[in-house]
Amino acid sequence: MTDPAITPELIAKHGITDEEYDRIKTILGREPNFTELGVFSVMWSEHCSYKNSKPELRKFPTTGPTVLVKAGEENAGVIDVGDGWGVAFKMESHNHPSAIEPFQGAATGVGGIIRDIFTMGARPVFSLNSLRFGDIRGDSEEAKTTRRLFAGVVSGIAHYGNCIGVPTIGGEVHFDDSYAGNPLVNVFCLGILKHEEIARGGAVGVGNPVFYVGAETGRDGLAGAAFASRDLTEESKQDRPAVQVGDPFREKLLLEACLELLASGCVAGIQDMGAAGLTCSTCETASRGGTGVEIDLALVPKRETGMTPYETLLSESQERMLVIVNKGEEAKVKEIFEKWDLPYAHIGEVKDDGFMRVKENGRTVVEIPARALADEAPIYVRDAAEKKETPALDLASVQQADVAKSLVDLLSHPTIASKQWVWRQYDHMVRLGATVLPGSDAAVFVVREANKILAATSDCNALYVRQDPREGARIAVAEAARNLACSGAVPLAVTDNLNFGNPHKPENFLQLRESVEGLAEACREFNTPVTGGNVSLYNESPAGSIDPTPTVGMVGLIEDASHITTQPYKAAGDVIVLLGDLGSELGASHYLKVVHGRKEGAPPKLDYTSEKALHDTLRSAIKAGHIQSAHDCSEGGLAVTLAESSLSSKEGLGSSIDFGTTGLRPDVLLFNESQSRVVVSVKPENLDALLALVKKDGVPAQRLGTVTTESSLQIAADGQSYTWALSDLQHAWGGTIGRLMGSEA
């Protein structure tokens, strides 16, 4: 087959600008051929090169005494958790593929993030996910489409995780019109390893053989990295070949083979074939190793005949690895691959000339300096719009709504409603480590081989970020840390997934810049270095950009099993206490959005001193044995927090609450989303000790009421009283998503 001529139209179709094409010619000293043009198009895409975001990412704190592998050095960062053990964790996105083919898009996203973890030499132990969709309510075609996307994504995540045996133990799901047509599928995985087991992805050792192992290469996933680096349009269905097809059973074999291989001492370097496939793994290992790599595509195992070099190099077929083997160990490597019944081939070797050189039956089809391709993509600083202050909400413009009805409306909104319909599809009990099941503030997992208790959460209130990107991003970090504190954990580190629209639009680039600076500032305050993550730009549909969504994944450590704390009330007679102020900030709240249909006002302000004092005091109270339950106050405010603490209780415990005289409007009191607040319950005999502790630490506290055996939530304030039957609230909160999706939860 003859390669097409390199024309301006072909160059533009590959997403290469005129200036970038001139740079390519300078690097090569000649015109690229068709295959080389494709190689540059994927490696210099935003998905692989971060060419529009790298200057911003440098603002993150990435070092610290616990950081064993920094962000950007390898496939995932690694954090020390003590006693010679470390955790590797990372978050990635599969947004565009999931919009086109939700089941496979989500499934292969899970497969890809798991490979990033075991490529580091870590055994994957659990996963989380953070999902965003349009509105699933109603009978419109858009709502029907969104329900199809939602069902497909959840089943894809469940299929891959359940089959490979990595439990999905937590996460979050939000619904908003801004994600209609462009869902966000962010997946997180964490693995455990000993310090000496950390694997590297460099092609070191000139003369070392290069092995391909895993699934055969096909035409699925062609140019997926480039596909993920442009806007979604009505024509995107033509990009179905850019969506990969996953096989979790093959990946399980690959996982075990790679971990055995790494333990054998045969490996000099290892790299997942993820975005950009064989292209990326070849040039990145060469660049990291300061060497060159030469491969012959005729030796690559293929499942389709007649594949061109362009197709073979750009394919993103799943479940594949590139392994640099120590010379002389080939027989042992082959024995391990055959034991696990995996296709493999010796396809090349490490060279000393710094080139990525690709041949086909001895004929050179690609010859590019590896470092220029992998690490020297053009970097752009895009124009940012002028920053404008978001005006505070004019409370006088918000009509006082029916409080009793408003709580039911909030609890039945899909963003706040129970996600049981989602997580009951996940096998969260595999490996028997999930100590806190999905549905609490943070997931908790006991890693028995390391004798460590880990907590993890993912958070982002995109409505806050939409209204004030910097403040919203700061709150995302603070809420993640607060959720960990509610579980009894000390935060260790952060991974993030930056989901934004087209960076060429100044208003979008401003959102990205402000969000990154807010995240970076907050991570320094909470002493949580960023270990890595993902940038997903061009999240736009014909209807416009998504709300900016810088998702934060945070991992923490719990010192002792007795400190593990959850949100449900535990026993009747326990005293309910609010740690923090009553608050009064209603701007950018879910009450305003859900009840009044308004996305307005500045989000609540975060005070680091108050927030950190709250976390420290809460952990101290937990360690002292004072706390029965803890639940952070976030979307929906105090009323939702109080309701959820009852509704998530297996015993069906209610509560009787009396705020006394507050001087606040009832809707402001119950539904404001001011920060730095946690509702806890304590045994009566521990109340005085708790109040003395919080007073000493300067944290505001107020006794709210009592846990009861009555199946109701009763709230009194400022001379008014409200009562909700728990059965009515459970119908709203527990059953809404199941009913919308056609099955009761």
Query: Domains of the chain: which residue ranges?
Result: 1-50+199-377, 63-197+415-563, 565-745
Q: Which of 94, 413, 590, 631 is catalytic?
A: 94
Strand 530-536 relative to strand 490-499, pairing: parallel
Q: In percent, how much of the chain has pLDDT > 70?
A: 97
Residue type, 230: R
Strand 443-447 relative to strand 452-459, pairing: antiparallel
- Catalytic: 94? yes
Tokens of 124: 């994957």
**φ/ψ (deg, to 5) at 554:** -130, 140
- Cα separation, 77 vs 180, in Å, equals 33
In which residue are the tokens 């020390």 written? 80
- Cα separation, 629 vs 576, in Å, equals 9
The Cα-based distances of 387 to 2, 383, 384, 466, 599 in angstroms read 52, 12, 8, 13, 19
Classified as helix, coil or strand, 369 is strand
Give the CATH superfamily of 565-745: PurM-like C-terminal domain (3.90.650.10)
Residue 1 is predicted with a pLDDT of 61
Q: What is the 3-state secondary structure (H, E, C) of 425-469?
A: CCCCCHHHCEEECECECCEEEEECCCCEEEEEEEECCHHHHHHCH
- Cα separation, 150 vs 103, in Å, equals 9
Strand 292-296 relative to strand 344-351, pairing: antiparallel
Say yes or no to pLDDT of 395 above 90: yes
Residue 327 class from Cβ within 10 Å (0-12 exposed, 13-18 middle, 19+ buried)? middle
Q: Under a CB-based contact definition with an 8 Å cutoff, are residues 66 and 89 in contact?
A: no
Residue 421 is predicted with a pLDDT of 96
Sign of torsion over alpha carbons 576, 582, 586, 589: negative
CATH fold of 1-50+199-377 reads Phosphoribosyl-aminoimidazole Synthetase; Chain A, domain 2 (3.90.650)
- The pLDDT confidence band at residue 229, using thresholds 50, 70 and 90, is very low
Residue 166 is predicted with a pLDDT of 95
Residue 228 is predicted with a pLDDT of 44
Give the CATH superfamily of 63-197+415-563: PurM-like, N-terminal domain (3.30.1330.10)
In which residue are the tokens 């728990």 written? 726
- Fold equal for 1-50+199-377 and 565-745: yes
- The pLDDT confidence band at residue 238, using thresholds 50, 70 and 90, is low
Say yes or no to pLDDT of 235 above 60: no
Average pLDDT over residues 332-353: 97
Average pLDDT over residues 592-596: 98
Say yes or no to pLDDT of 58 above 90: yes
Which of 224-238, 255-269, 383-397, 696-710 comes out lowest in average pLDDT?
224-238
- The pLDDT confidence band at residue 744, using thresholds 50, 70 and 90, is very low
Q: Under a CB-based contact definition with an 8 Å cutoff, are residues 238 and 320 in contact?
A: no
Residue 220 is predicted with a pLDDT of 80
Q: Which of 14, 47, 96, 590 is catalytic?
A: 47
Average pLDDT over residues 366-391: 94
Residue 225 is predicted with a pLDDT of 44
Residue 36 is predicted with a pLDDT of 96
Residue 245 is predicted with a pLDDT of 80
Say yes or no to pLDDT of 232 above 60: no
Residue 241 is predicted with a pLDDT of 54
CA dihedral 406, 408, 414, 420 (to 10 degrees): 150
Residue 286 class from Cβ within 10 Å (0-12 exposed, 13-18 middle, 19+ buried)? buried
Residue 433 is predicted with a pLDDT of 80
Digit-coded pLDDT (tens) for 504-531: 999 999 999 999 999 999 999 999 999 9
Average pLDDT over residues 486-498: 98
Q: Which of 558, 417, 424, 457 lies closest to 127, judged by CA? A: 457
Say yes or no to pLDDT of 401 above 90: yes
Residue 644 is predicted with a pLDDT of 97
Task: Name, in order, each residue with C-beta under 8 angstroms of 295's C-beta and a sequence gap of 6 or more.
Answer: 210, 278, 282, 347, 348, 357, 358, 359
Residue 27 is predicted with a pLDDT of 97
Residue 722 class from Cβ within 10 Å (0-12 exposed, 13-18 middle, 19+ buried)? middle
Say yes or no to pLDDT of 223 above 80: no
Say yes or no to pLDDT of 371 above 70: yes
- The pLDDT confidence band at residue 236, using thresholds 50, 70 and 90, is very low
Average pLDDT over residues 210-217: 96
- Cα separation, 416 vs 607, in Å, equals 25
Distance between the two ends of the chain, CA-based, in angstroms?
Answer: 55
Q: Which of 665, 646, 668, 644 lies closest to 655, judged by CA? A: 646
Q: In percent, how much of the chain has pLDDT > 90?
A: 91
Which of 340-354, 429-443, 510-524, 723-737 comes out lowest in average pLDDT?
429-443
Residue 436 is predicted with a pLDDT of 86
Q: Which of 147, 118, 148, 113 lies closest to 130, judged by CA? A: 113
**φ/ψ (deg, to 5) at 132:** -135, 135
Average pLDDT over residues 637-662: 95
